[in-house]
Amino acid sequence: MRQYPIDYGLVLSAVLFAIGMAGVFVRRNVIFVLLCIEIMLNAAGLAFVLGGARWGQADGQVMFIFILAMAAAEVSVGLALIMRMFHRFKSLDTNEIARMKG
Amino acid sequence: MVTVLFFVAGALAIVSTALAVTRPNAVHALLYLIVAILSLSVLFYLLGAPFAAALEVIVYAGAIVVLLLFVVMMLNLSHQSVAEERTLLKPSIWIGPGILAAVLLGALIALLSNGAPAGGDSIEGPAAVGTALFRPYLVGVEIASFLLISGVVGAYHLGRRLKEPRP
């Protein structure tokens, strides 16, 4: 009974990661790109917790806590960059910064 | 029972994540992202990781999504905010996240009334996680603290007001 939720959980984590990656490729709004990166980090954390539950160890949750700290630092710096970009270009479109030269 | 709840929460996570990625409005997308985070938290609880479930709700839904929401509110305030606010009050906007969250609440109530604190045979509570975190992974904790302090300094440096706003 414990075995096959773990298998399906790995599939679930892969599906969530794929949705987030497709979002990064498709969306042109920077806030949505950041949101999709959060989704992908969440999926990776789910895979770590699944591994920890499979082997009955706490290490998976420890890795999840590290991912959480990394996501918090990343989102704070990313949002500061987004605000700087909005003040500079008056837009949140990623195609705008593609024209940035030098 | 645990298996059925696992599949319900997993399907909710996939549906709400797909909706969050495809919404045109950022606030709606963040609402769906909160539902996805809550269903992932139920999944962690079912997997026997109650500490990770609590951290998922507190840090992701409580801090990261709220930070994203702050920035969305700050940047979108200029033109269409009043009309936006009026459309947000219509039931057709919040009925989707509402239904998904209600299904999740039903699953959680079924789980709690079943008497099982967390699913399965192996439960790693906060004590085991804390012991693992501060004994073999102590160097990792220190490196994470470096990362967080550099994140704070970097966000402060990037987010400060420029003296002369460039044209």
Q: How confident is the model at residue B83 (pLDDT cuts 50, 70, 90)?
A: low
Instruction: For residue B47, give the nearest of A35, A38, A50 by CB distance.
Output: A50
B6 interaction partners in chain A (CB closer than 8 Å): 5, 8-9
Residues with Cβ within 8 Å of residue B43, at least 6 apart in sequence: A9, A12, A46, B6, B9, B10, B13
B84 found inside a domain? yes
Overall domain count for chain A? 1
Range of the domain at A21: 6-101
Range of the domain at B31: 2-124
pLDDT in tens, B28-68: 889 899 999 999 999 998 888 889 999 999 999 989 999 88
Local structure of B167: helix, strand or coil? coil
Interface confidence, given as ipTM, is 0.88
CATH of the domain at A24: 1.10.287.3510
Give the separation between CA B6 and CA B79, rounded to whole angstroms. 43
Beta-ladder partners of A93: A29
CATH of the domain at B72: 1.20.120.1200
Asked if B68 lies within 8 A of A79 by C-beta distance, the reply is yes
Give the separation between CA A97 and CA A48, rounded to whole angstroms. 35
- What's chain A's average pLDDT? 85
Distances (CA, A) of B69 to A51, B28, B61: 32, 10, 11
Overall domain count for chain B? 1
The answer on pLDDT for A29 being more than 60 is yes
Q: How confident is the model at residue A1 (pLDDT cuts 50, 70, 90)?
A: very low
CB B126 within 8 A of CB B50: yes
A1 found inside a domain? no
B137 found inside a domain? no
B156 found inside a domain? no
A39 found inside a domain? yes
pLDDT in tens, B87-125: 656 777 677 777 887 888 887 777 777 655 555 556 778
Residues with Cβ within 8 Å of residue A59, at least 6 apart in sequence: A52, B132, B137
Q: How confident is the model at residue B80 (pLDDT cuts 50, 70, 90)?
A: low
The answer on pLDDT for B147 being more than 80 is yes
Binding-face residues of A in 32-61 toward B, CB within 8 A: 32, 34-36, 38-39, 42, 45-46, 49-50, 52-53, 56-61
B48 found inside a domain? yes
Asked if A86 lies within 8 A of B75 by C-beta distance, the reply is yes
- pLDDT at res. A100: 66
- pLDDT at res. A16: 92
pLDDT in tens, A57-70: 889 899 999 999 99
Average pLDDT over every residue of B142-164: 87
B135 found inside a domain? no
B163 found inside a domain? no
- pLDDT at res. A7: 79
